């Protein structure tokens, strides 16, 4: 049996792709879900890239107990020092350093000769090893590198003390056959390879990231780097849920490879990540799309009724999708709510539980039945809710809208114990409400990057999740709002985004003093 480690890079490679930036609370929420799902390694960020990334790696390192936490660095002393500063308090910290090995990258990006790359590999791996044993070295653009040169770099990194060697398909160029033989041949060529874990990290430019990662496993890789929902640069990285479920479903092909992952957490992890970035899964997305387990045609339904295995190679339950039967409603008490949370695998602290129960009771007044999807959304929102003393909260709002005049809105917000009211005029009720909010909160000038509403469950009274992302300078700030009323959801999302923008401005001001 082969144990394959799952290295999740949603918070680093995933987060660095356009439209996927996350704030600290959101990163912590995702890290929490990843730990619960039992990934082996969480790559929490690239600390030298920004103070926000540093802070996130430090916070994830301080919170996570049951996974290795990796911190990314280029092969430069300063990067490595800062990566270590950020991750050093993790229970099991890893420094992950990378250096390009392909002729194109060496000549045009690094402007380094092959010998310089070898010397740098040796020096930087040794530098990282001064801090920690758990050092991973990645040969960026490995799949377009000269094979003999790649092997020299790998051997140098191994001799200098790297414990994990990663061979990334950085630009999604390789094919499965190539990936399998690359791994097998590099491993065969490396002295001391039995002491090293080889890893794959595949991008999806030609739609082969999952196939390539699995082929890497067949070639001898024992770690797969991947992201929830396949988020990542350009066309994304290999999707965690697909690589894991492929190995789970076809142990005959993947040499009985197993992971320690709790696959029943996959659906929740996917929803959490989509919710954070304000998207939903494409309907036909493998494993996590809404249609992934639906059987529409008569022939398929007939087969499924006779024996599920006719058209089902894995069960929805295996990835944590349960028949959305139930459920709870107005008459369900705290006990029933707590029991359902427990069945769904939540383990909330008393304060979180109180917040979620209050939100559940409010929702029962607006919606007849509360589904599992509603409960999951309530928990996710209560975890990322603004509860800082400097954050504005919605007290009440009203809107007046017609199809022949401008809309008007009055909004009342609370800051601590103080209340503020303002009125706004706009092209619709949401524009009018946002205008009123601006008058109260007076945010720095910004533009809208995203405004979207996603349905959580189905039916007329479904909960809607509004997502607002605003941009100020080079920074994006997002907010989410959950409500059965899309105007209220939008207002909550906008207030939250502006709270984040104001918190950032305050932090900047503090740093300048």
Chain residues binding ligand KIV by CB under 6 A are 13, 98, 138, 140, 166, 168, 170, 201, 203
| Binding site partner of 5, from Zn ion, ligand KIV, none, Cβ cut-off 5-8 A by kind | none
Q: How far is the CB of 106 from ligand KIV (least distance, A)?
A: 14
* Nearest to Zn ion of 56, 435 (CB atom): 56
Whole-angstrom Cα distance, residue 172 to residue 186?
19
Which ranges of 17-76 would DSSP assign to H, the alpha helix? 24-36, 51-63
Strands 393-400 and 407-415: antiparallel
Strands 223-226 and 197-202: parallel
Q: How far is the CB of 505 from Zn ion (least distance, A)?
A: 32
Strands 5-8 and 41-45: parallel
Q: How far is the CB of 53 from Zn ion (least distance, A)?
A: 15
**CA-based nearest residue to 245, from 207, 205, 292:** 292
* Nearest to ligand KIV of 13, 58 (CB atom): 13
Quote the crossing angle between the two packed helices 209-219 and 240-249, to the nearest 10°: 50
| Binding site partner of 241, from Zn ion, ligand KIV, none, Cβ cut-off 5-8 A by kind | none
* Nearest to ligand KIV of 132, 412 (CB atom): 132
* Nearest to Zn ion of 7, 357 (CB atom): 7
Q: How far is the CB of 22 from ligand KIV (least distance, A)?
A: 17
Give 173's DSSP letter: -
Whole-angstrom Cα distance, residue 119 to residue 506?
44
Residue pair 224/211 in contact (Cβ under 8 Å)? The answer is: no
Q: How far is the CB of 161 from ligand KIV (least distance, A)?
A: 19
Stretch that binds Zn ion, among 11-19, 51-59, 255-263, 418-426 (CB under 5 A): 11-19
Stretch that binds Zn ion, among 7-15, 145-153, 352-360, 371-379 (CB under 5 A): 7-15
Whole-angstrom Cα distance, residue 480 to residue 327?
25
* Nearest to ligand KIV of 27, 201 (CB atom): 201
* Nearest to ligand KIV of 75, 370 (CB atom): 75
Residue 381 CA, chain-centre distance (Å), reads 15
Q: How far is the CB of 139 from ligand KIV (least distance, A)?
A: 8
| Binding site partner of 212, from Zn ion, ligand KIV, none, Cβ cut-off 5-8 A by kind | none
Whole-angstrom Cα distance, residue 329 to residue 326?
9
Report the residue number whose CB is nearest to Zn ion.
13
Whole-angstrom Cα distance, residue 218 to residue 29?
33
Stretch that binds Zn ion, among 8-16, 249-257, 303-311, 369-377 (CB under 5 A): 8-16
Whole-angstrom Cα distance, residue 359 to residue 334?
12
| Residue 244 tokens, joined | 């894991």
Count of positions on this chain that bind Zn ion (CB under 5 A): 1
Using rule CB under 5 A, residue 372 touches Zn ion:
no
Whole-angstrom Cα distance, residue 513 to residue 509?
7
| Binding site partner of 140, from ligand KIV, Zn ion, none, Cβ cut-off 5-8 A by kind | ligand KIV
| Binding site partner of 242, from ligand KIV, Zn ion, none, Cβ cut-off 5-8 A by kind | none
Q: How far is the CB of 98 from ligand KIV (least distance, A)?
A: 4
For the chain, what percentages of helix, strand and coil (3-state, to nearest 5) are there? 45, 20, 30
Place of tokens 């409500």: 483
Using rule CB under 5 A, residue 391 touches Zn ion:
no
Q: How far is the CB of 296 from Zn ion (least distance, A)?
A: 36
Q: How far is the CB of 39 from ligand KIV (least distance, A)?
A: 16
Residues 6 or more apart in contact with residue 53 via CB below 8 angstroms: 45, 46, 47
* Nearest to ligand KIV of 99, 288 (CB atom): 99
Stretch that binds Zn ion, among 10-18, 293-301, 436-444, 460-468 (CB under 5 A): 10-18
Q: Following CA atoms 442, 444, 446, 448 in sequence, which dihedral angle do they give, to the nearest 10 degrees?
A: -40
Using rule CB under 5 A, residue 13 touches Zn ion:
yes
Q: Where are the beta strands (DSSP E) in 101-170?
A: 135-140, 164-169
Whole-angstrom Cα distance, residue 425 to residue 240?
46
Q: How far is the CB of 57 from ligand KIV (least distance, A)?
A: 15
Whole-angstrom Cα distance, residue 207 to residue 37?
25
| Binding site partner of 138, from ligand KIV, Zn ion, none, Cβ cut-off 5-8 A by kind | ligand KIV
| Binding site partner of 98, from ligand KIV, Zn ion, none, Cβ cut-off 5-8 A by kind | ligand KIV
Q: How far is the CB of 215 from Zn ion (least distance, A)?
A: 17
* Nearest to ligand KIV of 77, 427 (CB atom): 77
Binding site for Zn ion (CB under 5 A): 13
């Amino acid at each position: 049996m082969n144990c394959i480690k799952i290295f999740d890079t949603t918070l680093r490679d995933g987060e660095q792709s356009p439209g996927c930036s996350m704030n600290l609370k959101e990163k912590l929420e995702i890290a929490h879900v990843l730990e619960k799902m039992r990934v082996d390694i969480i790559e929490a960020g690239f600390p030298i890239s920004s103070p926000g990334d540093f802070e996130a790696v430090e916070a994830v390192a301080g919170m996570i107990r049951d996974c290795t936490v990796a911190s990314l660095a280029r092969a430069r002393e300063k990067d490595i020092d800062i990566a270590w500063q950020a991750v050093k308090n993790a229970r099991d910290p890893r420094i992950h350093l990378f250096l390009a090995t392909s002729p194109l990258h060496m000549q045009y990006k690094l402007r380094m000769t092959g010998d310089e790359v070898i010397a740098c590999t040796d020096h930087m791996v040794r530098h990282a090893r001064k801090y920690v044993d758990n050092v991973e070295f990645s040969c960026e653009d490995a799949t377009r590198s000269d094979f003999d040169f790649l092997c020299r770099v790998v051997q140098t990194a191994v001799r200098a003390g790297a414990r994990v060697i990663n061979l990334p398909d950085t630009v999604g160029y390789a094919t499965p056959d190539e990936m399998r033989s690359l791994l097998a041949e590099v491993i065969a060529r490396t002295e001391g390879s039995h002491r090293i874990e080889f890893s794959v990290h595949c991008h999806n430019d030609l739609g082969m990231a999952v196939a390539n990662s699995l082929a890497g496993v067949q070639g001898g890789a024992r770690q797969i780097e991947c992201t929830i929902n396949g988020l990542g640069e350009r066309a994304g990285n290999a999707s965690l849920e697909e690589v894991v479920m492929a190995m789970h479903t076809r142990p005959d092909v993947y040499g009985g490879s197993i992971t320690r992952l709790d696959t029943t957490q996959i659906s929740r992890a996917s929803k959490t990540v989509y919710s954070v970035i304000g998207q939903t899964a494409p309907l036909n997305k493998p494993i996590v799309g809404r249609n992934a387990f639906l059987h529409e045609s008569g022939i398929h339904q007939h087969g499924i009724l006779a024996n599920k295995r006719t058209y089902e190679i894995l069960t929805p339950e295996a990835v944590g999708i349960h028949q959305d039967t139930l459920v709870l409603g107005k008459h369900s008490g705290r006990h029933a709510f707590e029991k359902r949370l427990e069945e769904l695998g939540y383990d909330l602290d008393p304060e979180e539980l109180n917040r979620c129960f209050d939100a559940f009771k409010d929702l029962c007044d607006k919606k007849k039945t509360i589904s599992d999807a509603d409960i999951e959304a309530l928990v996710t929102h209560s975890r990322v809710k603004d509860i800082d003393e400097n954050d504005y909260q919605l007290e009440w709002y009203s809107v007046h809208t017609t199809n022949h005049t401008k809309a008007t809105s009055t909004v009342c917000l609370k800051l601590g114990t103080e209340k503020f009211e303002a009125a706004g005029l706009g092209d619709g009720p949401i524009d009018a409400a946002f205008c009123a909010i601006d008058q109260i909160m007076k945010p720095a000038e910004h533009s809208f990057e995203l405004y979207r509403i996603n349905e959580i469950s189905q039916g007329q009274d479904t909960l809607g999740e509004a997502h607002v992302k605003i941009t100020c300078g080079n920074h994006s700030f997002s907010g989410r709002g959950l409500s059965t009323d899309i105007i209220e959801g939008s207002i909550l999302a906008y207030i939250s985004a502006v709270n984040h923008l104001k918190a950032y401005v305050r932090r900047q001001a503090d740093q300048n003093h």
